[in-house]
Chains A and B, each alone.
Chain A
């Protein structure tokens, strides 16, 4: 007998992929349950400005964009819980899944994994000690604490360059530290940074050590080509060095590549386990764009609808 609390679909993650999947599955009458994860809205909410999301001719903050996603999703009746999935395993029979959040177990007929990725850290022993005391991963959250101070932004992608430009609103000087002599950030973002008189560049250098007693007072830097080291004073270090896919909780049931990205069939969102679909940054090592994730979320919803209806046909 079917458990009356059984979900049709659980969507893990609440970024552009997860919420697009929720919009589509809700409109299809599947009554999706979205488990939002620790950061509702996903990584995009830390972006000070999103300029390339179609339909928004004026820049929009990542937070506001995700608020709009959320409102649209709610309009169609999707349900939300602020839960993080710890583990997923097969439930009764072979086609039911048990989702364990640590606080409750949820049975579902199908699962969409849209957990995205999480920010990589510098992996320096002293880094955790200085979180909230000079080291930050969120320019929009903590930038104002660095008024008239000198800070470093570590990274070479769009996030790092956007953060650096944003932080010049507060800081007296922003130094972009990047380990390579080329940048992944798009030319439009690079241009803004290059034209900003408060921004300086340190390439190809890496942060070797963070210095300070109670708060950050400087960093030991190392040149990756020459091995030269130097100590530079700074009050803050903003880290934007990329992300790792959040796939750990699902590894027993779905295949991943060596970097943890969930593998999906080409041209679809089907994983190695029927009934589990993956979309967005958790399975995208290449594009990592909000608009791609949203499109991928739509694909996952449509693949899932087809899966559910094929199961029902079999039952008939």
Chain B
């Protein structure tokens, strides 16, 4: 169970809904561990700066996480968290393991554009 201030995705239906109803989505799938917590906290901070992006997190150990775990883009990943960026429901970027705020922002800016 994730103890963050982000909205959690807990079912497959929620994954579907968030991707269908939002153009720019970032989902961070991990655990409350030392590699994941920093990424969750970066996302919490950036949520305010990127209102045009929908941010969610997801517990890596629940069955609904199969969606992220089984994405071809994550097939080679061997470090938590798996962070996946979607544009109109399609994966446009994915990272594995801890990421800095600058690394996350670089992808957000590149794929979704800066806040207008």
Contact = CB atoms under 8 A, between A and B. Distances in A.
10 A-B pairs closest in CB distance: A132-B97, A132-B96, A132-B79, A145-B78, A141-B33, A82-B41, A38-B38, A141-B35, A142-B79, A45-B34
Interface in B33-70: 33-38, 41, 44-45
A236 interface: yes
Nearest to B41: A82
Given A131-B98, A140-B33, A141-B33, 8 more contacts: A38-B38, A40-B37, A46-B34, A63-B32, A131-B97, A132-B97, A133-B76, A133-B97
B100 to A, nearest CB: 8
A153 to B, nearest CB: 15
Contacts of A63: 32-33
6 contacts: A63-B33, A131-B79, A140-B33, A141-B33, A142-B78, A145-B78
A38 B100 CA distance: 9
Nearest to A102: B101
A174 to B, nearest CB: 15
Interface string A127-149: 00001111011101110011000
Interface in B76-116: 76-80, 95-98
A82 B97 CA distance: 19
Contacts of A132: 77-79, 95-98
B8 interface: no
Interface SS of B by simple majority:
loop
A75 interface: no
Contacts of B36: 141
Contacts of A45: 33-34
A133 B98 CA distance: 11
Contact of B33 (A138, A145, A235, A236): A138
Contacts of B44: 82
Contacts of B35: 137-138, 141-142
The listed residue with most A CB atoms (<10 A of its CB), out of B35, B41, B76, B79, is B79
Contacts of B96: 131-133
Nearest to B42: A38
Nearest to A131: B97
Nearest to B97: A132
A141 B32 CA distance: 9
A41 interface: yes
Contacts of A103: 45
Contact of B34 (A41, A131, A214, A235): A41
Contacts of A214: 76
A265 B6 CA distance: 44
A275 B19 CA distance: 52
A215 interface: yes
A152 B44 CA distance: 35
Interface string A51-91: 00000000000010000000000000000001000000000
A39 interface: yes
Nearest to B83: A132
Contact of A141 (B45, B76, B77, B80): B80
